[in-house]
Structure 1
Amino acid sequence: MSSTPRIPPVTPGTRAELATIEARIDKARGRISPLYQVLLNSPPVVDGWEAMLTAIRLNTSVSPALREMTILRVAVLNHAPYEFDAHVVHARQAGIDDALIEQLRHEVPPDSIDGIERVDTHARDVLRLVDAMTRDIEVPDAIFDPLHARFGPTVTLELVATVAAYNMVSRFLVALRIGH
């Protein structure tokens, strides 16, 4: 696969009408990544994207470690190495050690991942949710119900939103060939 994005990136600072959006992205993220440079082709999309992903990454009740484990799993299942690599630093900051990150880098069944309980006692159940939503879309009651019983409606909804949002991100990256 070519490493050239299918939609040309917008070089930050080259379009005056994007200055406010670029400043907001740079302030929130510390830079304007290749993903956001492509998104700048559509101001309404980049605005909505930034608002939604910021809410999911920074404003939910999902623990940072569980969130980052979820994002890494979605990236692996969708063959989106750029997304995986972009979140390794966040996973480390959330307390996920390198040994577990390396295990998460491979598409293996949740039951075969050693030490995942350090993230959360229900981390395997969360990975089963990720797998069902990403591979099959439909989530069986046998997967959903234990999560809902453990986390309640708010965190369960936020977990589902995280999986859905990062499926969008990784599929966008892969379809448009953004990243490595």
Structure 2
Amino acid sequence: MNALTSEQRAIYEDILAGPRGRLDPPLAVWLNSPGLARTAQELGGFCRYGTSLPPRLSELAILITGSWWRASFEWAVHAPIAIAAGLDEAVVEQIRKGIRPDFSAQDELCVYDFASELLNERRISDHIYAAAEAALGTTGLVDLVGILGYYGLISMTLNAFQIPAPGNAKPF
């Protein structure tokens, strides 16, 4: 880390002092563009730790995004976090395999349908929107879209710079 500019070092220190406490690969790549790194790590702090969604639903959205992008690093990091946050292991495995899960919780189904439709169709149908808004509220929907967008950026970064999963696990 000695080769960092003063601006990069300041961002690096902010990352270490924040809730992450470490420099994960997408952030390490982003440090090559300090403006992006600063802005993205602040957005990421909110998307990971500060939204109105409970961790179980945030992690579900992260897994859906990571699976859609086939971002092995993202999946390997967040699958255990999602299970610890309360997602059923069978649901996590079905998402990994690209199978529509059998949800027992209505709010999880709403997040899945909303995220999947937005990623696949690039739009949200009226009935999916209405169900998700009833389950999550407008603020929850805005936060959900933010999570999907931020973790799309992470997944694209991981894939573009060919960041392998920890231990070279290949979940997809």
Q: State TM-score, norm by structure 1.
A: 0.82
Q: What is the CA deviation profile of residues 125-176 of structure 1, one whole-angstrom value per residue up to 9, with x for unaligned ones? A: 2111111111221111121111112222111211122122222221222123
1:53 and 2:44 matched: yes
CA-based RMSD of the aligned residues comes to 1.7
| Stretch of structure 1 that moved more, 148-157 or 12-21 | 12-21
Aligned length: 163
* Distance change in 2, residues 1:41/1:153 (3 Å): same
1:121 and 2:110 matched: no
For residue 169 of structure 2, what is the aligned residue in structure 1? none
Cα distance in 2 for partners of 1:47, 1:63 equals 25
Structure 1 counterpart of 2:53, one-letter code = V
For residue 19 of structure 1, what is the aligned residue in structure 2? 9
Asked whether the equivalents of residues 133 and 163 of structure 1 are also in contact (C-alpha less than 8 Å), the reply is no
1:156 and 2:141 matched: yes
Match of 1:170 among 146, 155, 158: 155
Structure 1 counterpart of 2:155, one-letter code = S
What's the secondary structure of 1:122's corresponding residue? helix
The structural deviation recorded for 1:23 is 1.1
1:83 and 2:68 matched: no
Q: State TM-score, norm by structure 2.
A: 0.86
Cα distance in 1 for partners of 2:53, 2:127 equals 21
The structural deviation recorded for 1:16 is 4.2
Structure 1 counterpart of 2:2, one-letter code = G
Give the fraction of aligned pairs with identical amino acids, expressed as a percent: 27
For residue 56 of structure 2, what is the aligned residue in structure 1? 65
Gaps of at least 5 residues in structure 1 are 1-11
Structure 2 counterpart of 1:152, one-letter code = G
| Stretch of structure 1 that moved more, 135-144 or 59-68 | 135-144
The structural deviation recorded for 1:97 is 4.2
Gaps of at least 5 residues in structure 2 are 166-172
Cα distance in 2 for partners of 1:49, 1:148 equals 27
Match of 1:139 among 95, 102, 124: 124
Cα distance in 2 for partners of 1:67, 1:39 equals 23
The structural deviation recorded for 1:75 is 0.8
* Distance change in 2, residues 1:124/1:97 (3 Å): closer
